Amino acid sequence: RFHGEGYQEGYAEGSHAGVVEGRRYGSLHGAKIGSEIGCYLGFALTWQCLLQKCTDGKNSKKIRALDLLIGMIQKFPYEDPTYDKLQEDLEKIRGKFKQVCSMLNIQSDFRIGAERSSLTF
């Protein structure tokens, strides 16, 4: 009887601790992904505005790539943590961001850490 009661108490306490830890972990990593995606979107929108002011033809490929990046970010499922292709889509966005940086001849370095979070050019 004591063994069964101890098991039930331990299971309930472990379940509660697991939910708390899972929520904290999800919030932390969700915030990191949100920060990263937000920086990409701000970067893309800024460059889109800058390049649209120039009317020469050599910017059309860059603008198209920026439009694709913005479209990918806007379609990203922020509110669905159960989305099965979340990591796959995130990698596609990162790849498109690197491609855009290459086209713009910009070296980007996005770092997220406990000490700082930055996007440098």
Tell me the range of 45-49, 74-78, 103-107 where mean pLDDT is highest: 45-49
Give the model's pLDDT for residue 121: 46
On average, the pLDDT of the chain sits at: 84
- 116 compared with 103, residue with greater pLDDT: 103
Map the chain to HEC letters. CHHHHHHHHHHHHHHHHHHHHHHHHHHHHHHHHHHHHHHHHHHHHHHHHHHHHCCCHHHHHHHHHHHHHHHHHHHCCCCCCCCCCHHHHHHHHHHHHHHHHHHCCCCCEEEECCCCEEEEC
**What are the residue boundaries of the structural domains of the chain, listed by start?**
2-104
Looking at the chain, the whole-number percentage of residues with pLDDT higher than 90 is: 34
Q: Looking at 65-74, 78-87, 92-101, 102-111, which range is the least confident one? A: 102-111
